[in-house]
Structure 1
């Protein structure tokens, strides 16, 4: 996996805060203070405020009418709604792109799956989220619809937060689903691969609902 240095201080702060939120280092409900963050990260107030605004757009930080900011709390309802939105966007992109996949695309998907499985095994939530998302992104980009991918990117970090608390449980649906899709693609069964991709979201939603109810 390549590593890209953020081009600006704002981008660096966005990445740092996003990672802390996704991994649970900043738990849901945590009060976000500009000056405190700026001091901890060694930057001025401006990139911190710009980063908070960006993460608010992504749905990771809530900004109240009185301008106080908190890490967004994930309720059962908004978790399931988020999965439903991602299902619509991702399945549309997969359907549009699956017929355009080449052997090169499939080889790249296989590589990302290996990285995904290893990251899940070691409990590396951030790496697992990136590799798992890239598996789908390869297909979606094959469709040529950049706008769809941009919209889907907005929900990926929030979805990773749902998965973060249960690496051994909720990730399993994606690991086995991806393996099945690769086998179907190797056999030339694009229709079967699409149906299996859709089933991942059905199974994942049911698992998330079960986990949240247990909590």
Structure 2
């Protein structure tokens, strides 16, 4: 039997704030005040300041020279640059890990892909995003490079923050189709082709996001990723 290690107060605050920023509960430009936040969460100032420092390092909070902290504003350039970085890191991880994938890995990927689709169908973007991220994470972690996955996670958190999340967006279909076809190739033993199909997901996704940023649609979305 395994037991989850309890979160420290700093970790719990980081998770709470990151979720509020990613989902838009804390909108871009919102001023983050230590005392108010500590009172709202029922904690002391110290873990709040530590959490803010971590989120600033992740690019989710801006700290001005006068020490005012605000939720980061995002530009089109920021969004596309982050997608490019996310693609480079995730594709490298998949390329390194693909030869180590076992049948157990593939079964787990198929399960998480099904949960990704199911989450979107019931409008639970948070669950869908986590499941979708895991499809990539399973491949990346097969490389044995945990440091790479840590950096992927940070970029994914920032990328999710960039675009409003909506379960009805057609952006999700790029990931669903790409994951399905990548899995089919892996199950058929064609690993080089699977890597190329996975890489194509980012190319398609970037092109679509760029078109949406130029001409915003009536609904928007973010990546499922933890890729």
TM-score, reference length from structure 1? 0.94
Q: Is the 2:56–2:63 Cα contact (8 Å) retained in structure 1? A: yes
Kindly report the root-mean-square deviation, in angstroms, between the aligned alpha carbons of the 2 structures.
Answer: 1.7
Partners of 2:162 and 2:5 in 1: how far apart?
27
Asked whether the equivalents of residues 61 and 69 of structure 1 are also in contact (C-alpha less than 8 Å), the reply is yes
In the TM superposition, 1:27-176 aligns within 5 A as: 27-167=27-167, 168-176=169-177
**C-alpha separation in 1, matches of 2:3 and 2:21:** 20
- The equivalent residue for 2:15 is 15
Distance 1:6 1:208, change over 3 A: farther
Distance in 2 of aligned mates of 1:210 and 1:150: 29
Mapped partners of 1:44, 1:84: distance in 2: 38
- Segments of 5+ residues of structure 1 without an aligned counterpart are none
Contact 1:14 1:55 in 2 (8 A): yes
Question: 2:200 maps to which residue?
Answer: 199
Runs of 5+ consecutive residues of structure 2 not aligned to the other structure: 217-227
Q: Deviations over 1:76-112 (max 9, x none)?
A: 0000000000111111111111111100000011111
**How many residues matched?**
214
Conserved? CA contact 1:80–1:205, under 8 Å: yes
Counterparts of 1:4 and 1:170 in 2: how far apart (Å)?
Answer: 33
Whether the 8 Å CA contact 1:173–1:203 is kept in 2: the answer is yes
Contact 1:6 1:12 (8 Å CA) reproduced: no
How far does the alpha carbon of each residue in 1:2-46 deviate from its partner, in whole angstroms, 9 at most, with x for none?
995752111111111011011111111111111111111111111
What is the aligned partner in structure 1 of residue 187 from structure 2?
Answer: 186
Deviates more, 1:30-39 or 1:161-170: 161-170
Q: CA deviation at 1:164?
A: 3.6
CA drift of 1:163 comes to 4.7
**Residues 71 and 106 from structure 1, CA distance in 2 versus in 1: closer, same or farther, beyond 3 angstroms?**
same
Deviation readout 1:50-84 (Å, 9 max, x if unpaired) = 11011111111111111111111121000000000
Q: Which moved more, 1:114-123 or 1:69-78?
A: 114-123
Specify whether residues 184 and 105 from structure 1 end up closer, same or farther in structure 2 by C-alpha distance, changes over 3 A only.
Answer: same
Greater fraction of residues in helix: 1
Aligned twin of 2:225: none
Runs of 4+ in 1 over 4 A off after TM superposition: 2-6
